[in-house]
Amino acid sequence: MTIAARAKDESGEYDSCNITVTGAAKVTGISLNQTSAVVKRGKTVTLQAKIAPDYAANKKVTWKSSNTKVATVDGNGKVTGKSVGRVTITAVSAENGDCKASCTVYKVDSTGKKVYGKYSSVKKIKITK
C-alpha cells in the first residue's frame, strides 16, 4: 500500500511511503479435496483439507468420523474402511471451530461395488463455514 502526501502551500512538495501490513491471518474457511469417496474394508483413502485464506497462520485441522465402526480417520485425513455403511468424515479448523468441511464415505463390498440399500440414497455433502 502506498500513502502519498502533498503540501497545502502550493510549493509542490510531495512525498510517498510504501507500507506493508503484516500479522497473522485468521482462518475463514475450510474445504476438502473430495466431497464423497468409496473405500473397501481395510483399504484407505486420504482426504486433504485446504484452509482459507492461503496465508492463514494456523492451518491445523482435527479430523472426526461420525461412526468409527464404519470408518476411522487419523490425524492426517487418512480414512480406513471398517464395515459396510456410510460415514461422514469432518475436518475442523483448530483455530476456528466454526470452519469445517465434510466428506461422505461409502464402504464397498469386496468386489469394489458400492453398497446399495439404505445407504445408497444419501449422496449430498454439507459444507459449513
Q: What is the pLDDT of residues 75-115, one digit of tens each?
A: 999 999 998 888 999 999 999 999 999 999 887 656 656 55
So what's the pLDDT on residue 96? 93
Per-residue model confidence as pLDDT tens digits over 31-57: 999 999 998 888 999 999 999 999 898
- The pTM score is 0.69
Residue 25's contacts (CB-CB under 8 Å, 6 or more residues apart) are 53, 55, 56, 57
- pLDDT of amino acid 116: 45
pLDDT for 126 = 42
Q: Given the C-alpha cell 479435496, which residue does it identify? A: 33
According to the model, what pLDDT value does residue 94 have? 95
Stronger pLDDT, 20 or 34, i.e. the higher one: 34
> Sorting pLDDT into bands at 50, 70 and 90, what band is 30?
very high
Burial of 35 per CB tally in 10 Å (0-12, 13-18, 19+): middle
Distance (Å) of CA 24 to CA 1, 53, 54, 95:
18, 11, 12, 12
The span from the CA of 121 to the CA of 118, in Å, is 7
pLDDT at 115: 57
